[in-house]
Amino acid sequence: MMKTGIATVSISGTLEEKIEAIAAAGFSGIEIFEQDFIADDRSPREVAARVREAGLDLMLFQPFRDFEGLPAPLRARAFDRAERKFDLMQELGCDLMLVCSSVHPEAMGGIDRAAQDFAELGERAARRGLRIGYEALAWGRHVNDHRDAWEVVRRADHPSIGLILDSFHTLARRIDPDTIRRIPGDRIFFVQLADAPAIEMDLLYWSRHFRNMPGEGDLDITGFMRAVMATGYAGPISLEIFNDQFRGGPSRTIAGDGYRSLVALMDDVRRAEPEAHVDLPTFPARTTVEGTAFLEFAAQGEDKSALERLLATLGFRRTASHVSKSLTLWTQGKIRIAVNAETTGHAHSAWVARGTTVCDIGLNVSSAAETLARAQALGAESFRQPLGPGQLDIPAIRGLGGSVLHFLDQTSGLADVWSVEFQAQEDDPAPDAGLLHVDHIAQTMSYDEMLSWSLFYTTLFDMHKTPMVDVIDPDGLVRSQALSSPDGRFRITLNGAETHRTLAGGFLAESFGASVQHVAFATGDIFATATTLSTVGFEALPIPSNYYADLAARFDLDVGLLDRMRAANILFDVDEHGAFFQLYSRPFAGGMFFEVLQREGGAYAGYGAPNAPFRIAAQKRLMRPKGIPRIKREIERKKPSDI
């Protein structure tokens, strides 16, 4: 089996917390970072025993710096330092040391000089049954390219001396990873992986603060790893991530993200490089989500009535009730919204914890079983609750932030859930407003959690990431990133709030953590929809006339069109693919809202980001004074009848 590892420096906490989190995530071993070891108060033998007790290998001891190319007497001292570290490694029972290329001001260049130093170090290491791996730092004084490091190793020509590859150092310097294909796989002792966002900055600073998990950044980690595996390399594959957010993040989440990213990456590598041997159990490829099957809200009491009134004014009809649960179904076009007022189970817990919230999302996929299998291979937890009579066992997993995702497909009868579990109900036939399907689901989280969420979706589903955009809230910045299935049938926007004063941040505090803040429904004709909505009592978010004056200045719009937009509080944008119209509901339940939109010709690719500052300002004007709704809801939640 492929050995997976992670450097202790990659995650937060004490060494003990790191060990626990790394073991729980499913890794086979760790790279022990010397700093983490020194900060611990246990002896080397005790630490080693603890690591093994947790089921982990001690794969690598690192880093040993500024070794090669030194003049006398510094050279002799470097060997002495190495011998002291060899003592420690023997106590730890770790047989591989990482030596990174020197940045010492007195280090001299020359491949042969360095090779001689390594030949001698290899001899000393071999006497103790240890091995040395040489890594080219991107900012090394003389060696800063894996091709040069390999040449040093090749000329050292000692079985205890090998190469260590680190994707960051190769890719940050834009060195073609295919040059790795020429290196014999058995001369590579260890492989470290890190991705990073594309930012122009000093290499050392970039590396120490902005590395992230494979798939979270912009480097071609798959290309790098394909080249490594093509050499026949069969050793450990390990993450070495220096990231300020991760250092402050929850250790279990970060370790879980690391494992997920590594397994997804190696699965991509095996699919792209079939001749290479990736020793990993097989699991299904990324799922292409075919659309949103349903959204389930947890809501009770007055909040439930308010939500149902709002749904009715959006043209939804209550078409069915669950056979055994307090669960009603509201439908329009292909949209299904369930409102769950159960007093036990997941929806109830979600309501108690957060108030009105989206507690469950159902997705249409081609195979629910395969989607579940992939999710589990990536470390996701499957979700189950006791089934009542006649209830179908629909595959589900826990997403992030306590959310649940159900997978429905056509093959296993799961799509029949609506006829099997629900009883149709004839209500007053309210007019349909022409809403067709869910266009996107917008989830709000703290900025620090955004990478976890995007990794979750992009490793499980076939989704494109668009570059992050800044949304200006009058009280701060919100970062927004959109993820979309290739044909756009499933879209998620992630909104990362940095302060509680923004609309998104206030919602986050109000809902006690990340969750769905808005849902957008698509219509084929927003003006017809707006006309119908006005007859059923829908109150749109009022947009100030300044906005329309600005639209008139920015775009060459027909006056009649502008007037119709103004009358219906419709916002406008256009990109190279087509025009875009949107309108919003007023906020409800602590800052949630609905959006209605039209992508003219289905072509506009964005989400109306230029309009977001005006929408947010308009919503904030309508929000109740801070503090009141939350206290009120906490009191409501504590009513004995609700428990």
Helix (H, G, I), strand (E, B) or coil at 144: coil
396 versus 612: smaller Cβ distance to Mg ion: 612
Token look-up 């000089």 returns 113
CB of 592 to Mg ion, least distance (A): 12
Tell me the C-alpha to C-alpha distance, in Å, between residue 641 and each of 352, 467, 632.
12, 47, 16
For Mg ion, the closer CB: 311 or 520: 520
Please give the angle made by the CA atoms of 542, 437 and 346, to the nearest 5 degrees. Answer: 90
Which two structure tokens, joined as six digits, stand for 230?
């093509």
- Phi then psi for residue 67, to 5 deg, are -95, -55
Name which of 101 and 458 has its Cβ closer to Mg ion: 101
Among 242, 139, 235, residue whose Cα is nearest residue 191:
235
- Smallest separation (angstroms) from Mg ion to the CB of 60: 10
Nearest to 521 by CA among 584, 588, 587: 584
Q: How far is the CB of 607 from Mg ion (least distance, A)?
A: 5
Tell me the three state secondary structure of residue 85.
helix
Could you give the CA distance from residue 551 to residue 501 in angstroms, rounded to a whole number?
A: 28
Q: Identify any residues that bridge with 470 across adjacent strands, giving them in sequence order.
A: 479
Q: Which is nearer to Mg ion, 192 or 444 (CB)?
A: 192
293 vs 520 by CB, closer to Mg ion:
520
- Residue 493 or 511: which CB sits closer to Mg ion? 493
Residue 57 has phi, psi (to 5 degrees) of -85, 150
Helix residue ranges per DSSP H, 476-525: 503-510
CB–CB of 304/348 below 8 Å?
no
Cβ-based neighbours of 286, under 8 Å, separated by 6 or more: 374, 459, 460, 461, 462
Residues within the interface to Mg ion (CB under 5 A): 166, 192, 240, 520, 595, 607
**Residue 481 is inside which H or E element, if any?**
strand 476-484
Cβ-based nearer residue to Mg ion, 417 or 597:
597
Specify the DSSP class assigned to residue 449. Answer: G
Nearest CB to Mg ion, comparing residues 207 and 313: 207
Residue 518 CB, nearest approach to Mg ion (Å): 6
Task: Report yes or no: 212 and 243 within 8 Å, Cβ to Cβ.
Answer: yes
* Min separation Cβ 590 and Mg ion, Å: 18
CA distances from 437 to 316, 440, 519, 613 (A): 12, 9, 11, 26
Closest to Mg ion by CB, 580 or 607? 607
Q: How far is the CB of 134 from Mg ion (least distance, A)?
A: 11
Taking the complex as a whole, how short is the minimal distance between the CB of residue 493 and Mg ion, in angstroms?
A: 6
Distance CA 279, CA 459 (A): 19
Give the nearest residue (CB) to Mg ion: 166
CA count, 13 A, side-chain hemisphere, 586 = 14
642 Cβ partners below 8 Å, 6+ apart? 300, 301, 343, 352, 636
For Mg ion, which is the closer residue by CB, 149 or 451? 149
